Each structure stands twice: as C-alpha cells, then as structure tokens.
Structure 1
Amino acid sequence: MKIAVIGGGLLGLSVAYELTKKGVGVEVELFERANQLGGVAGSMPFGGGEVDRFYHCILSSDSDLLELIKEVGLEDQVRFKETKMGFFHQGKLFPMTSPLELLRFPPLRLIDRIRLAYTILHCRLFIKNWHPLEKKSVEKWLIRLGGRRTYENIWKPLLNAKFDGGFSNIPATYIWSRIVRVSSASDKKAGKELSGHLIGGYQVLASALEKAITANRGRVHLGANVKEIVIENNRAVGLLTDNGFEPYDKIIVTTPALAFARLIPGASEEYRRSLTDIPYLGIVCLLLGLDRSLSPYYTLNITDTAVPFTGLIETTNLIDPRFVGGNHLVYLPKYILPDNPLGRLPDEQIEEAFLEDLKKMFPDFHKSWVRDIRVMRERFVEPLHSIQETWQTPAVHTPVDQLFLANTSQIWPELTNGQSVTTYGRRIAGELLENFKIDSKTLEASPS
C-alpha cells in the first residue's frame, strides 16, 4: 500500500515517521515543496552559525517530544536551563518569574496582584474540562477572575499584541491553555522555571526523522512541487507533480487549510470554501545577532503600548551563544492578521522601525551592537479559533475518499509547539493505521 504525506514540517515528519515505524508493508513517501525540512521549525545560516528561523523551546513536561527525540538518538543533545521571564511595562523592566515577583509587581495594587495570582492558580488547578471555556469571551472571563485593572494593565495589552488587536471573539480557552503550558515549565521542587533546547535546533530533529523514515524504507522528496491531488469519482487516486502523475492508495495532507484547498480542485466547491474560511495569524519577526546581551530574560512580555512587538525573546539566555555562531540572538516577533500592511513592507523599513522601537525599551542600544540582522515572515503560523466555533475545525477524514487532513488547526486547544505537533502526529498516524487495518498480520485497508 502506497501512502503519500504532503508537508515536511514537524507534523508531516512525525506522521511519516510513525507510519513507517508501525505500518509493516506500508510504502510511505513524504513531499516537501521547500529544499529543506522543518517548516517554521527549520533553521538558516546567520551570523556565522546555524540558527532557528523562529524561536522555540522544550519544556520538561514535553513527554512525547522528548520521547521522539530519544527514539531518533538525540537525547544527549538536549540541554535544560533555568530561565527568567520579565515584563516591559510603562517604560520599565520588571522580573516576573516567581510567585513572589508577581506579588511584588509594582504596576498593580496588592489586591490586583492577588487576583492575578488567583487567575493563574485557577487555570492550573481547578479547570479540568476546557469545553465550557469555548463559550466565554476571553475579555469578560479575565475581568471576572482578575478584575478590570489587571485586565487593562496586563491581559489586554498582551492579547492586543498576540492577536493584532483582533481578539474580541477569542474564547477563554486560549489563555487557559497558555497558562497551563507555561506553568508546566516550572521545577516545583526548586521553584525555578526550566526550559530546554536541542543543540542545533529542531532542524537536527527534522534531519534525524528524515534518516529514520528512509531507514524504515520510506522516501522523502525535497523541492517537490505537488501541483494537484488527483480526484476521480470523489476518490483521491494520486498526485500530480513536476514529474507527472503518481498513483497512491492514501494521501495525508499536513499543510495549512488554505494551501490544501488549492491542491484539490476536484473536490466539492462547498468543502474547498470551508477550508478557505479558516483564519490564520501570520508573523513578521526581526532577528538580531548582537555582540552583547540585552537583558537576563529569556522572554520579555510587553504590556507597553508604545512598543508594537508581541514580545522579545533572547534565546541565548537559554542557548549557549557558542552553539549559534557566538552571537546573542534576539527575536522581535509581531503576529499579524492577513490585512495588516506590516506584512507587505520591505525588509529595510521593518528593520528601521523595529530598531527604533527596541531603543524605547533599551535606550543605550546602538546599531553598532548588531553583527547580523534578518527579517523573517510566515503567512500561516497559528490558526484562529472563535467563540463556539470549534465545530468548524476540519475533520481528519475529508469528504473525499482516501484523502486525509492533519494540520495545526485541529490541535486546539493545545497551542502550536513542538510537543503538541509531535503528539498529534503520533496520534493521527496511529488512528489512520488502525483505520487502514495495517499491522504485521494484514496489509488490507478497511472498506470505505
């Protein structure tokens, strides 16, 4: 049985790896349009070294991701370290790593700090079923739990920065999921926040997965332009690429929904339209390679409206600079909606504007500190889910026979990260293999 997997990001690689590992007799081929695997988790040459295009970290609670890393022989390349988090508020930096620092946070009154702490504890300890949160506005929910002053000073600026101002219809599930994940980074015994990374970044994991797939008799095609998924009588029968038509028994697509819709002109117009209706956040991110560190914080959350970044992530407060060309790496991300003109500005204008805003945070900053600089853009980074619209998430089993969709829009309420993607890839591969009824005893697919 021949199975095609379209998309060579971590999700597509995880699906293909699990299929080749568990599916005896399965012929798996993965197609990636770019000349490099990894997608948004990929790397690039920068500042004399190889660095992640975007920032990533591993938490000690990322069990599936760490298990996958171990399976492909990279366990000894993982490094964990205590990290610090800060806030930039009204022109000043404040530490916000420990509960004590939260309770000392000067911009809030004592009662507001207590209510902020209560909001975090409420999410961590008392919410086990997230489904009721889907019906609640994140704004109203946060005001009810933490009060309006806390909302206006902390949550509203963070939500504005994350959702490019368009969070009025975002459910409370988002904040709950984020708080639960961030709090899982804490070493409860030591009272410290621990984060980890792979030496060489996720690109090393992508390369190891490629080797494992080929070792399991799978094939990986880079620079592969899939023009169309050929559909006959409402059944996917193969792929049309630059090399012509190739038949496949099953096709699994891991791309964003809009890209998937363009590949299936033979599907119903109603289904294709439902895919194009799924909104995504994009990102514009300025990466700086500096000759010195800016602050002791791995993550700086920004609640100062004078600075437009979503945050400031200094990854070399986690990663030893010697692993990334000896530079101090600072990522300045700005999440954007599709109609934000920032996404269409030339790199030079973005560099100039972002550096001016960075100087608002660090008045001593000088351009002479910059060893290298790069603007990265990605159109599809994170799918947006609206209040009570989880039902609109596309199903894995599409209306087209033998055609399956597995992408990040289905991971909700988990946030898109290495752990959630690899967990989902493993689960989907297992479910599909069960559906195909392929194991060591049988190679036949179940009836449609």
Structure 2
Amino acid sequence: MAKFTFNMPDIGEGIAEAEIVQWHKQVGDTVNEDEEFVDMMTDKATVPMESPVTGKILEIAGGEGDMVSIGSMLVVIEVEGEVPDDVAEESQAAAEAAPTPAPAPKAEPVEERIEIETSDASDANEALTADPDPAPQPEPRPAPEPSAQAKVLATPAVRKRAKELGVDLAQVKPAEDGRIRHGDLDQFLSYNGGYGAAAKPRADEEKKVIGMRRRIAENMAASKRNIPHFSYVEEVDVTDLEVLRAQLNSNRGEKPKLTILPLLITAICKTLPDFPMINARYDDEAGIVTRHGSVNMGMAAQTDAGLMVPVIRNAQAQNLWQLANEIARLAEAARTGTAKSEEMQGGTLTVTSLGPLGGVATTPVINRPEVAIIGPNRIIERPMYVIGADGVERIEKRKLMNISISCDHRVVDGWDAASFVQALKRLLETPALILVD
C-alpha cells in the first residue's frame, strides 16, 4: 500500500488558486483512475479534476467554497502497490511549478491608450424578443416529493419553478409530445385555485455562497464600489426594425432565425467609431483608458449557475447571420458550462437583456473593467402620433423599446453617452442603414 498526494495542477490560466465547487467523492470512498472526483472553479470556468490512480481517498483539501492554491494538496489517495513514477513525477511537478499570469488579449485593430491623471486610481440573458409579459410570480409553497417530479418530462427550469411553487408535476397535464412546459404549468395553476391560500410558509434556508454565485457577487460589488455609474434611457421606435427582421427571416433559407439582438449589435458596432470612449476598458491602477478598435461584445446570458458573459470576438466584422450563429453557440455553451476560458474574457462592451422580462427601463451594472453596458428593454405596442408621407399627422400603433446605457463617469461624460444613444436610435429607426456597408 502507498499514499499518493494529488496536488492542484496549474490548469493553464495563470491563476494562483481555485475554488472547490463540488466533491463527487468523500473521505473513505474509492476513486477509479480517470474518474472525476471534484469540480474546481477558476475566475472564468469550472474544471473537473480526474484521478490519475485507483484507490481509497484518505484526505481532502477542504469543503465546498474553500480555496486551494496551485501546487498544494488537493487529495490524498491510498493505492495498492507503488505509485507509477510518471504519476508521482507529474504531481511533484505541479507542487513545484509557479503559475505565470496570462498576457492580456490584444485587439487586432489599432487601439488608443489615454493616460488619466487622478488622485485616487484604486479600485451582465437571453436575446431580446417581443414576447408578452409573463404571468406574475406567486408566493412559493412547500415542494412536493422528488419522486413525483421525476416521473414526468420537463426541462430543469420547469422542474425548478414547480418545486418553488409546490406543484406536483405528476398532476399537470402535458402537451401532446408528453413534455410539460411553462404554459402547461400556468394552466394547471389557473384551474386549481391559484397557488393555494392555505399554503404553509416555507422554512428558512441558509445556503453558502460559493462557485459562480460568489464570483458574481464579488465582481458586482467591486464594480459598484469602484465605478461611479450613471444611466441614460431613451425610447426607440423599432416598428420598421421588426418589419425588416420579419422580412429577413422569411427569406433566410437554412440560415438561423434572427432575433433583434444581431440587428442591435450590428447597429451598435456601426455607431461606435464616432464614440470611441464607449468601447473602452479602464485600468484603475495604471490610470490608463484603452479605446479599442475592435468590438469584443460581451453578451450577458442567464444560466442555472448565475449570470455569465461570453464574448463575441470582432463583432464589427460579422454579418447578421454570423452573429446569430455565434450568439446561439455562446449562449448554449454558457448554459451547459462548456464555454472555454478565452470565450469568457476580453470583452470591450457588454449588452445585457432580460428578453420579455426586460421591463420599462433598466440600470445595468458595468462589467468591469469595461466602461459601459447597454440594456435593451421589452418591446411594447403603443399608440403614437406620426406624420405620414403626405404630411398628415395621425395615430398609429407602433412598437417601442427603451434603450438603457450605464457608463463609468470617470471616463464617459453624460453628453457623450446621450449622443451615442441618440445616434444609435437614428440607426435603429432607419434600419435599412444597418445593412449598408
């Protein structure tokens, strides 16, 4: 019998430590060679660790949420016979290796660097759609037994909602394909007396903030603590834009269906050259603003683990269909946890949308060290006074959407932010210009 110490390896991201997210094995369990035994989280991604040997776990580095330094002991395993030399040498090399910081990604087009003198240099969904308002969320009640939930076909999101509402999915009538969707759940609730007037209050629950949720909390706190935010909101008439989108979709062939997001990103990219202060990153410590030539567009995406922001590289060089493909690919990668580290960093500007939940206006938090974030809100239909081609004023039903922008007031002036949004508004309200090179 021999003891093998598996040291936390440098997983190639230039990090000094990683967080324990979930143990798949505990002390006393047997782990097989190449079997995943723990998930570790870096600043950008969750990485499963595989055992290089088969044996019994004698010791682990800590509990979920604890940090483990690169090169330090992660787990001790008791193995039969001797530990293979190559395995022992690899673990020893991990203990002795010192991680080196990865260089910051460089944008291809020319970038402008501006030094800022300051007395204190210290220290983002789904694609926007025109869906109607969702049903109001009810007060939760105790969840049913898990066994009842497992007998039906439903997505994780539907199961989670049913659990929070205390609904037994086995009692819900599914669609023709046998799968229960949110609409089926809504119908069940409406025909069964709402959500139960006599529901018992749910017990208090304490949950440790770890993994992606802790990263989000730390990043948001740092952003609000260090950045003096200001927001500006403008109403945009997207009636003609929606007509254009429908026309493009009707003739798309094998191409992906367009949401409004690729059109919005294209319009933003066309507007940014006149407003370089928006597409920038601010290095607090060095007091330097880098105005980027390329647009690496962050796209806030909601996942079960929390909000993630994958990055569309060189968005200004992609057409509508390429953007639609990339948006779908990155959103799926974020939701499934398969996004690569390099796909989660290097953004120069972020778009965040709550889709049909977008509300009237939002004040999004900037994705530091970027200096601005844009939030399209829900599209609604409303009567408006318009002047026709004949010069006669009339009332028409129009589709309207508010555009919100939050900016770092150390770098972006209110006049610049308002001017940028007004230029973006003119482009969105004359959508044919979006397709002109």
Q: TM-score scaled by structure 1? A: 0.24
- The TM-score, its normalising length taken from structure 2, stands at 0.24
Greater relative contact order structure (CA < 8 Å, 6+ sep):
1
User: Which structure is larger by alpha-carbon Rg, 1 or 2?
Assistant: 2
In terms of fraction of residues, the more helix-rich structure is 1
